[in-house]
Structures are given as structure tokens and as C-alpha cells.
Amino acid sequence: MEKEIQVDEKNYYSRLDTFIRKNFPELKLGAIYSLIRKGFVKVNEKRIKKNNYLLNIGDTVKIILNEEKIEDIKRPLMPSLKPRAMKFDIIYEDKDLLVINKPPKVSVHPGNKEEKVTIIEGVMYYSQGDFEPHLVHRLDKLTSGVMIIAKSKQTAREISYLIQGRESKKIYLALLVGELKNNKGKLTSLVDEKEAYLKYEIVEKFKTNHGVFTLVRIELLTGRKHQIRVQFSEAGFPIAGDDTYGNREINKILRKNFNLKRFFLHAYKISFDYNGIHYEFAAPLSQDLQTVLAKLKEDS
């Protein structure tokens, strides 16, 4: 069984693996890498075994599939997207972009068990059919802050490229468990076997009756999955409230005494140049995290 598609301006992504992932969403990501590695992907009838092979508009991509194993490489069926009303704060909007302050505890995209309204569904409802929203980047469900949504697939591709590379500046605020000694620093390590970098500086320290906590401003230099949470945990200063990579006993104390009901991570600011214009978007710290800081000060 073969699937074939021609690269055009509407479906174009430069990397082969990204192109297949975007144009064949029914295939599992691991299966895509395996198909490329084993030579079951052809570009213009030539077998390509490099995930990062660069495509050009006009190329023909062919995927060779084993019909007997097709069910093994398919993603589970995802719930269909539908416009659903939700409230969110708009930071900026023009003909190309919609920038919102993502509320905490809201998923960006529906999952198999997602019943609550998601960001993409809320924006679909907001658009009233005037534009088709496309995610430029993602934030974890529990992370709040600046989120950019493109109003066309082409804009999404272009802005995603800027954000994923070094051509943008991404700033986060996080509360760490413990006392950092240096006012500024850099973390360098491997996350998911890929190099990961970030810089940080201390904003404020809270020496409370329940321990010391440090508020930091982080510049994310690479964009690995859960990078900030993983790197600070490995450094011995996990994100406050993070039960996955942090200290659950301390998190219980934070919930009980400081009302921290999620991990303390906020996408504070993002800036980049696009089409000759400099954009800079900032989202104030969400109210629940402001409350936590106020209670920490009271206890210090």
C-alpha cells in the first residue's frame, strides 16, 4: 500500500519528518521515524533515510506501508474539533495573529479523555469562521501565559520556525524549591537526548517558615519537552508544585499553606521579528500565582 502527496505552498514544511507528521496526522510519530529509517519513504522516487531531509515545493513524497501492520502505526482516534465558547484574555490581534494569555488548567488541544473546552476550540468559536486557527507553539495544560495562534497555515509555519529557532526570545517566570546561590546562571544538559540550554536570573527569594523558595526569570534558549521542569529538577531545584519532576511532600506543604494548586510556571514574554516588524508580547502573572507570592511574603 502506498500513499503519495505532492508538496505545494499550502502543505509545505521544509523537513521531511515534519512534512509527513503534518500531512499524515494518522501516523504515530515513532512510526514515521521508523518508516524513514528503514527506507519506506521516497522523495521523487528516491529512498530517503534522513529525518531532516529538506523538501522543495513540487517534490513528490511517497510512503510505502505494510497493509497487515497498518493498525499498529496509526494514532488512536482523536475527538473531532468543534467550536466551543470559552473566556480568554486577548493580548494582541491583527490579520495574521491572535495572542492570548492562556489560563491555567486548560488544555491547548483535545486529547482522548478531554471533556473541557480547549484553547483551539475556544479560538474556533471566537473566530466565527473568519479564520482557521493554527497553533504556533504549545504550553503544558498547567502552564499559563503568552500563547500565539496563527490565522493561516502559512503564518503558522513561518512563526513556528522563528520560535523553534534562536530568532525569538522566550521568557518564563518560575518558582523553585530551594535557594539558588548565584544571581544569574545557565543550565546546559541533555533533555530527551538533545542538547538543551536556558539562562536564568533571580527575581526574589522567600525564606519562609516552611522552607526557602526562589522566584526566577528564565530565558529559554531551546525548546525541549518539559525542558524547564526537567533541567531545574536535575539541578536540585524543582519547580514548586511539580509532582512529576519535583518533591511531592514539599508540594503538599505548598498546597496547604500557600494555596499552590499547580506547578508555578508562567510564559511571561515572547518577542521576535516578522515581516519587518518587531513583535513583543507579555502576559501578567496569573492571579492564582500572584496569590501564592503574596502568601509567601506574609510567611517570610
How many CA atoms lie within 13 Å of 105's alpha carbon, on the beta-carbon side?
7
Question: Is 140 annotated as catalytic?
Answer: yes
In the numeric block, which cell numbers belong to residue 42? Answer: 521516497
Give the 3-state secondary structure of residue 68: helix
Q: Are strands 134-135 and 184-191 parallel, antiparallel or unpaired?
A: unpaired
Contact, 15 vs 55, CB < 8 A? yes
Question: What's the DSSP call for residue 155?
Answer: H
In the numeric block, which cell numbers belong to residue 189? Answer: 544538559
Residue 29 CA, chain-centre distance (Å), reads 16
Contact, 19 vs 12, CB < 8 A? yes
Contact, 179 vs 214, CB < 8 A? yes
Q: Are strands 144-150 and 265-274 parallel, antiparallel or unpaired?
A: parallel
Give the 3-state secondary structure of residue 258: helix
Contact, 86 vs 122, CB < 8 A? yes
Annotated catalytic residue, options 17, 72, 130, 140: 140
Show which residues are catalytic.
140
